[in-house]
Chains A and B, each alone.
Chain A
Amino acid sequence: MSGPSGPPPPPPSVEGSEGTASLDDLPEAARSRLTEGAAPGGTWTSDLSVSELSAVERCGFTPAGMVVGMTVYQFGMQGYYGTSGGLGSTMGGQLYTTPGWAGGYQQTYLCQHATYGHMPGYNFEDLWYEQGLTEAYTLAIDRLREEADLLGAHGVVGVRYDSHRVPLASSAPVIEVRMVGTAIRREGSPPLSEPFTSHLSGQQFAKLIDTGWVPGALVVGVGAIRSYGGCVVGNGTSSGVTYQYASGEFRQRSDAIQNCRRFAVDRLETHATGYGERVVGVDVAAQFHSSMEDTMMVENVMIGTAVRRFRDIKDPQPARVVVGLADVSR
């Protein structure tokens, strides 16, 4: 499994990181389980509920087996990571000499004080970190897809995803990204070059097919912005008064969060454009804010299912208004 090493990577490009995982990538245990499952008379597994199973079968698919995609990924230290306001006057220099963040979004917020010598505030996009996050999620999705491929499946539905920090013996941050879903197969149909992946439940998948849409792939969009407050939030002496008594919007921080979301959505859409016209069920898979003194880090991972229209339903049946008689309290 490849990790970040060597020279700093180019700006995050989801297309670029595709195919980094190959079939040889899957551990032996996974290959053995999948081969057993794919053999004639093998057992299929699924985490579909009974209703999901019937919904999937109703639209002509059968379960092929549960598939897993995961990665444990380390983010390379870039000198600034984990520091908090201690960068002082060297920050400006570092900001522009570290290749990891050259070329990304950056914005300077000048000191509003009449006096001189105060640090300006900086917002900048952490391209290095973004690249890492994107690769981690893409690796997990790719492996999910490879496992489905080994099972001879056409797609994966009901993918659940999760990511968390792994407290391993590394001073650099390490995360685990894991995904689990059920691969499904259409009997008698030749294999796809790339099985689809989707986080939609069995019922949602069935409704999607009925209305003329098919899932293309799980798509991911990532944004990571660092915001150094400069004197605006000053933990120093002269700006302390300003800090404590001022009230109002903290524009620099608003911009950091706003742009981080914007970047994540933009990249999600760019990634999805290769798979379909729309993305449904976009969810914020991971969101991280941390503030230490005058430093804030914002990260956003958005995930959704890109869907493609395969049939124009000319006169879609208008949805009916119903009162459900199911007992929700149970």
Chain B
Amino acid sequence: MSTPPEQPTPSEPHLADLALDALRRPPGQSGGGNGMPRSGHRRAVSTDFSVDEAILVEGTGYEPLGLVAGAAIYRPPFWGRYGVSMRENRELADLSNSLHAARTIAMGRLRAEAEAHHADGVVGVRLEFEGAEGKGRDYRFNAIGTAVRATRHATVRANERQSDGLPPRQGEVFTSDLSGRDFALLARAGYVPVGMVMGVCVYHVARRQFGDWLKTQNANIELELITTALYDSRELAMERMQLESHALGADGIVGVQIKEETHVWGSHVIEFLAIGTAVRLVADEHRSLRPEMVAPLDDLTVDTDPRRLHGR
């Protein structure tokens, strides 16, 4: 059995023994006794962080405050799907708006819960479309993430490194779908998240004329009508996301995902969703991270992320 690397002096007890000793004391008195504040019977704080994320976020000078969630059930406009000709390439604006509104409401609820924790922001947000239900085909959206707050620790570090931590508060909590790890890296590079931004476009893709299909079925040709539809809708969604980011005064957006889904509408109606985290540079300049190269011994067959451990 090898010894752990962190053994300051030979006389110091083994970390494992210290850990087990802590479990023999009643909770709230688990402090090592070396001047650390005892937590008393403060309520436990829940996070969906993996151990890595918890360490990294804490290293950035942020403390977790608890899991926060936001839900929205939204009834789409009944006529949203209709009123468009079969041969028409056109956005279904009512559906675009309703999907955007539903997500915005869910995110608003999440922020409200974070606000109740006096949080600076929420990291690791997962905003998911969880299906459509009932006769009204109501959309169900759920957002969940961990609320965090900058500690005094972060302020001190912010002076040294100017940027670490300290997000703009602007009266609103920031949201970010970046993992705890990415959040820490971002802070280290001199950026802070400003908020999650998104653009939605629901588009009706025209059906081709039967004659066209017949004439060209043996040809190598681009299907311009469909290319245009998919191209247009994607660009529209991305542009809307950009505009949201601009309105927040962000410098850029990281981790953009473009998702293409048909949800409940069947063929020829597609939602394009562009979503990402808007960020702002708070340091004087971007600091490159200069990573080291390592060959990790983690084994790849086992996912060490506890969120995905379930049924490993």
Which of A's residues lie within 8 Å of B, judged by CB?
Answer: 49-52, 54, 57-62, 154, 158, 160-162, 186, 189, 192-194, 196, 199-201, 203-205, 207-212, 214, 216, 219, 221, 233, 235, 243-250, 253-254, 257-258, 261-262, 265, 268-270, 272-285, 289, 291, 293-294, 296, 302, 304-306, 308-312, 316, 318-328, 330
Contact = CB atoms under 8 A, between A and B. Distances in A.
Interface stretch (B211-219, B222-230, B269-277, B303-311): B303-311
B152 interface: no
Contact of B23 (A59, A214, A250, A316): A214
A54 B46 CA distance: 29
Nearest to A52: B302
B51 A62 contact: no
Contacts of A306: 44
Given A49-B299, A192-B20, 18 more contacts: A160-B309, A161-B310, A162-B310, A201-B304, A210-B5, A211-B55, A247-B76, A249-B102, A250-B73, A250-B136, A279-B46, A280-B50, A282-B48, A302-B46, A309-B22, A322-B291, A323-B294, A325-B296
Contacts of B131: 289
A57 B49 CA distance: 24
The 10 nearest A-B residue pairs measured at CB: A281-B306, A310-B22, A60-B16, A312-B36, A272-B44, A253-B73, A257-B71, A214-B19, A247-B77, A261-B69
A272 B46 CA distance: 8
Contacts of B70: 258
Interface of B: 1-6, 14-24, 27, 30-32, 34-36, 39, 41-52, 54-56, 58-59, 64, 66-67, 69-80, 94, 98, 101-102, 105, 109, 113, 130-131, 133-136, 138, 140, 142, 144, 184-185, 188, 289-307, 309-312
Nearest to B312: A160
Contacts of B56: 319
Contacts of A160: 309-312
Contact of A309 (B30, B302, B312): B30
29 contacts: A52-B299, A60-B14, A154-B20, A189-B20, A193-B24, A199-B306, A200-B51, A201-B303, A201-B306, A221-B46, A247-B78, A247-B80, A248-B75, A254-B105, A257-B140, A258-B69, A262-B69, A265-B67, A273-B44, A274-B27, A275-B27, A278-B46, A289-B140, A310-B18, A310-B19, A311-B15, A321-B185, A323-B291, A325-B296
